[in-house]
Amino acid sequence: MSLSSFTIFPKLLVELQVEIWSHAAPDEEPEVCIVWPLHIKHAQGEKPVGTLVVDTSWPIVARVCHMARETLLLRGQLRLRYSPAAGFFVPFRAFNPAIDTLYWSRFQIDAMKKFIRQPANLPLLSSLRHIAVDLPGAIRPKLLVQLIRKAAISVRTISIVLPASDPAQMESPLLPVGRDHDDSHTLTFLPPAGRCRLRDIPADTSEMIAFGMPEFLAHCRTKMDDRGGKVDSIHDSESVKNAAWDVNSKSFSGLEIKAQTFIEYVKGDDGRPEWFEPCGDCLTGDPFENRALAPVYIPVGQRQNPEEYRVLEDDSEYPEPDADGEYPDDEDYISWD
């Protein structure tokens, strides 16, 4: 029903119209929050930006009329920030740990280790339900156990993110950093800069990946169970009761570990929303060997406010070489301690 056919609506008190528009706002949908900046100099004391936000869709009610849109904006039910790629303001909201997924990449592992250990971050970590890390960043179940054991006791899902669901898009063997292989390669990819989600990689597809994804997931679970013995002694009985860690079986039986890949939102030619996998055109190689494979570094003084500006669009590209064809020589790009 349109406003023109609902003739009684304009005759209602303005205050009542405002309440109706406010109640018409949609519920929050699960989104993915990407830790930012992508390149953090942890050795110099840098840490992730504490303002965690996610991109969202435009609520349909905001397109109905000016009053509806203004109502949502004034009540904080619709928040906008500027997107340089789009050339206009796009909707976002604060990260909701109850439904959203927190993602970090291989380039942020050490910074996240420090983040986990800081008492001030305990309220956020203890409320997390879904965590995602890219494949090279997931090679150490010890870190994930440490995270759950010390803080994120309520985690229910850990996603191991690959650059694509199609093995044909990953030309070289997909092997984790730090393993001993005669011909080891790693796949380096950057997360999407726009609104994105995570899609499950079917079991029959993951079995075709050269790395052996099912075996890796099983390896993660085994290692996590082996290292999880101290969970009981750290948390009180009530928190453990509601945790992924099962006291009786001494395992993370309440935890789902799965393989996923990014999908990013775009508007199709017909104006309808479409989701596609943006990370398939990834670069292969080790950023230890090739600085071109690590994200652009944004100096602290040049970092924008994530609540005003879609910051991922600034470091979603690989760095450009200088006049001599050299890339930044930064020893603090990445390390696995």
Taking only the tens place, the pLDDT of each residue in 28-71 is 999 999 999 998 887 788 889 889 999 999 999 998 899 999 99
CA-wise closest residue to 228 among 176, 160, 152: 152
| Residues near 20 by beta carbon (within 8 Å), at least 6 away in sequence | 9, 12
CA-wise closest residue to 161 among 86, 97, 104: 104
Compute CA 174 distance to the chain's CA centroid, rounded to the nearest angstrom. Answer: 21
pLDDT digits (tens, 9 = 90+) for 173-183: 454 444 443 33
Antiparallel, parallel or unpaired: β 273-276 and 283-284: unpaired
For residue 281, which amino acid is it? Answer: D
Asked whether the predicted pLDDT for residue 126 surpasses 70, the reply is yes
d(CA 50, CA 305): 10
Q: What is the pTM of this model?
A: 0.82
DSSP 229: T
CA-wise closest residue to 334 among 125, 169, 134: 134
Range from 90-99, 147-156, 260-269, 308-317 carrying the lowest mean pLDDT: 147-156
Residue written as tokens 């009542």?
16
Cβ proximity of 327 and 321 under 8 Å: yes
How large is the average pLDDT for residues 173-200? 66
45: left (phi over 0), alpha (psi -120 to 50) or beta: left
DSSP 138: G
Antiparallel, parallel or unpaired: β 79-83 and 101-104: unpaired
